[in-house]
Amino acid sequence: MNVYHFKKGTEICNYSYSNKILAVRLNRQRLIVCLEESIYIHNIKDMKLLKTLLDIPSNPTGLCALSTNHSNSYLAYPGCSTIGEILVYDTNNLSTVTVIPAHDSPLAALAFNHTGTKIASASEKGTVIRVFSVPEGQRLYEFRRGMKRYVNISSLSFSMDSKFLSASSNTETVHIFKVEQLNPSCPEESPTWSAYMGKMFMAASNYLPLQVSDMMNQERAFAAVRLNFCGQRLICTLATIQKLPRLLVASSDGHLYIYNLDPHEGGECVLVKQHRLFDLNKIDENEEHDVRPPVPQSYAATVARPSAVPPSSTMPGYSEDGGTLKGEVIPDYELAAGPVCLDDENEFPPIISCLGSKNEKTKRS
């Protein structure tokens, strides 16, 4: 695992592990490295190894989630390889918080909300998505993605305000659910036929088998996106762009799709923009081009440009000894040899300053 400073363009430290790294997660307090049967917890300030969780249930996909809120720095990973148990671990206090019996089938996706107070989960069946409170582990919401077929849910994502939850899979549909509790103090609406039938179903569910009543109480999608393809791995997220709610969907073939989201009416989301993340100069001639005008240069190509930052040896205040040597397996008692101050934003100048100094040197030469 190599840790880089993005603004400076230099390597901060590197560590080697005993097995293949399947996932890396981090917030401003902790850095998590997930292997198939172990999890390493590092302190983000100095990369000190705080805890190694050994002999965890087999986790061949590296499924785990870390809260981005470092005050509620909870880690979630499968607590069992045969059923959908969620083990919630407090990475600040280094202790297990709770084990949530979420699904009958093994877990396929996990996601915390931005405050670390809720966690969403889906199983390998992919038909039901559940939301639980953290750290109590109480079931709060249950959403039904579909009934006709099992799917592989690849990502779950809360909106920043935790009012919406998006779910993507290997099908052509991305679902958005409304995570909102009904306020019992609100005045009752005028009776309608649909409201009457809804009350009838709710009353009838008390006399039906548990599995049937659960299915009747599950909420359906509030909004959705219909893609013109299926079978690809999709990653989705909900974001606010220019003060408007948007759904972002990235496909495994290198495209990014941006859709609108009506937070009041829901329904079908409309495509706003489409980007290709690969280098536009390397597109195959036989490949169909995007309908919208391409950007001058892709994000991937911009990041891949040679760094304008001088070598780390010329940068004062940078520590090269922040980790073990390459190829060396990190033991449980290993500490970082020197402070690397990953959370100190004042230690390094912004990349704009670095680029400016280089441009001035170029002009002088």
Please give the helix or strand (H or E) that residue 205 lies within, else none: helix 193-205
Q: pLDDT band at residue 7, thresholds of 50, 70 and 90?
A: confident
The token pair that represents 320 in the structure block: 């090269």
Q: Which residues contact 71 (CB under 8 A, 6 or more apart)?
A: 116
Please give the average per-residue pLDDT across 178-193, as a whole number: 52
SS3 category, 144? strand
Specify the pLDDT at position 201.
52
Higher pLDDT pick, 362 / 235: 235
Please give the average per-residue pLDDT across 280-309, as a whole number: 43
Domain 1-151 grouped into CATH 2.130.10.10: yes
How far apart are alpha carbons 188 and 190 in whole angstroms?
A: 7
Q: Report pTM.
A: 0.70
Tell me the percentage of the chain whose pLDDT exceeds 90: 50
Chain centroid to Cα 142, Å, comes to 20
Task: Spell out a b/e string for 99-127, using b for 16 or more CB atoms within 10 Å of the CB, else e.
Answer: ebebbebbbbbbbbbebbbbbbbbbebbb
Backbone φ/ψ region at 88: left (φ over 0), alpha (ψ -120 to 50), beta: beta
Specify the pLDDT at position 12.
86
SS3 category, 231? coil
Mean pLDDT, the chain, rounded, equals 76
Dihedral pair phi/psi, residue 107, rounded to 5°:
-70, 150
Q: pLDDT band at residue 170, thresholds of 50, 70 and 90?
A: confident
Q: pLDDT band at residue 345, thresholds of 50, 70 and 90?
A: low
Q: pLDDT band at residue 55, thresholds of 50, 70 and 90?
A: confident
Residue 307 DSSP code: P
> Which of 62-76, 149-163, 196-210 comes out lowest in average pLDDT?
196-210
- What's the pLDDT tens digit per position in 318-343? 223 333 333 445 444 444 445 555 55
Specify the pLDDT at position 311.
39
Scan for tokens 């970082």, then name that residue. 336
- What's the pLDDT tens digit per position in 302-311? 334 444 333 3
88, 134 contact by CB (below 8 A): yes
Please give the average per-residue pLDDT across 223-245, as a whole number: 90
Could you write out the DSSP letters of every residue in 258-291?
Answer: EEE--TTT-EE--EEEEEE-S-GGG--TTSPPPS
In the chain, where the domains are located: 1-151, 153-181+218-278
Specify the pLDDT at position 181.
60
Q: pLDDT band at residue 278, thresholds of 50, 70 and 90?
A: confident
Specify the pLDDT at position 301.
43
106, 125 contact by CB (below 8 A): no
